[in-house]
């Protein structure tokens, strides 16, 4: 495994009309690129993920996994705005010499895809065998699949959508409201909004899981009137995230998720999807209440070379980070079809 940094001095023109004059992408690679570049697997992480794909997707990426280090050259870059080495709101603004904080520009999933495209060109990778991502990572991957055209052979989009629904935007806005309600939000220091982030994560966890999953795993064994397992679970998840992530990054990337619309400026969603050249595999989760399985199924039907697979799980949206055995089988069947 190698972790490297791509420092771009070429400006990134953003959909908002703003310009990110320079930026850094932290990225990790595993395995070796073969001579004809036919073994490139590019993974895109979800909202709070990082470039260490073999850690958080160990069931898919690893020595003995479907994407293994002896056969594949695997790349994962930390998205701009995130907390793990790439440019974000706490990075130095070259115009002022101080951190951006609340002046960091608004990013879209298309902007994030364009930054990955700049990294691909920098690495002189002419074509990608498989581009794979889940949730926000799936949205960015879908945007990039459109941009890549014939340079991409396979796209695997898991628990994701062609356009963010009002339902998801509503969840994201509720989470940002929790951050904004933190009395420290608005202050210029790295821990601003930290307690609000804990509350935001608790809200998010309710959308990542299915009620049946929470009901079964957080069921009380004793009669009580307070101190419930479900409450402790959500507080733990909030505290756990706040120790490793920043409210600024959460704000930036949920905004990017809200922006997602593959059809914007391209004649609408269906016309844009018809322009994707890659063989696309959309994977839904039968219990996902956030990005509905029917939205993934729509992707498979709208892309010329599209197919659909479904994870059967009680875990809800998070199944794409849990159900590795099922996911591996579905991916193998996709390649064989």
Q: Catalytic site residues? A: 135, 288, 317
Q: Which helix (H) or strand (E) holds 283?
A: strand 279-285
DSSP 163: B
Q: Which helix (H) or strand (E) holds 235?
A: helix 229-242
Instruction: Decide the pairing of beta strands 279-285 and 152-158.
Output: parallel
5 φ, ψ (degrees, to nearest 5): -130, 130
Q: What is the DSSP string of 123-159?
A: HT---EEEEEEETHHHHHHHHHHHHHGGGEEEEEEES
Report the distance separating Cα 54 and Cα 62, nearest Å.
Answer: 6
Report the distance separating Cα 182 and Cα 227, nearest Å.
Answer: 24
Residue 205: name the closest of 235, 178, 184, 246 by CA: 235
DSSP 277: -
Residue 135: name the closest of 160, 161, 171, 108 by CA: 160
Q: Which residues pair with 280 in a beta bridge?
A: 155, 306
Lookup: tokens for 236: 């733990």
Report the distance separating Cα 168 and Cα 258, nearest Å.
Answer: 8
First-last CA distance in the chain: 31
| Tokens 């839904």, located at residue | 284
């Amino acid at each position: 495994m190698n972790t490297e940094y791509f420092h771009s001095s070429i400006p990134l023109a953003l959909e908002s009309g703003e310009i990110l004059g320079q930026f850094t992408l932290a990225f990790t690679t595993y395995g070796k690129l073969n001579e004809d570049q036919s073994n490139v697997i590019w993974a895109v992480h979800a909202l709070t993920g990082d470039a260490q794909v073999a850690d958080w997707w160990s069931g898919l990426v690893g020595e003995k996994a479907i994407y293994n280090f002896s056969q594949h050259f695997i790349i994962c870059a930390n998205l701009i705005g995130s907390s793990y080495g790439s440019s974000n709101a706490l990075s130095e603004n070259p115009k002022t010499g101080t951190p951006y904080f609340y002046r960091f520009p608004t990013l879209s999933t298309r902007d994030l895809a364009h930054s990955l495209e700049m990294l691909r060109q920098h690495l002189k990778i002419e074509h990608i065998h498989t581009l794979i991502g889940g949730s926000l990572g799936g949205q960015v991957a879908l945007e990039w699949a459109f941009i890549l055209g014939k340079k991409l052979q396979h796209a695997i989009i898991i628990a994701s959508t062609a356009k963010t629904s009002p339902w998801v935007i509503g969840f994201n806005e509720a989470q940002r409201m929790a951050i904004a309600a933190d009395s420290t939000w608005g202050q210029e220091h790295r821990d601003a909004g930290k307690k609000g982030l804990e509350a935001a994560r608790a809200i998010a966890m309710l959308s990542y899981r299915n009620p049946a999953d929470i009901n079964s795993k957080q069921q009380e064994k004793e009669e009580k009137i307070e101190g419930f397992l479900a409450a402790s679970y959500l507080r733990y998840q909030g505290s756990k995230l706040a120790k490793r992530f920043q409210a600024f990054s959460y704000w930036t990337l949920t905004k990017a998720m809200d922006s997602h619309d593959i059809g914007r400026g391209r004649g609408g969603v269906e016309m844009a999807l018809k322009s994707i050249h890659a063989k696309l595999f959309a994977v839904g989760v039968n219990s996902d209440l956030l990005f509905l399985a029917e939205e993934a199924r729509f992707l498979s039907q709208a892309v010329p070379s599209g197919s659909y697979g479904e994870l059967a799980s009680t875990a809800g949206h998070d199944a794409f980070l849990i159900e590795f055995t099922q996911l591996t089988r579905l991916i193998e069947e996709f390649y064989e079809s």
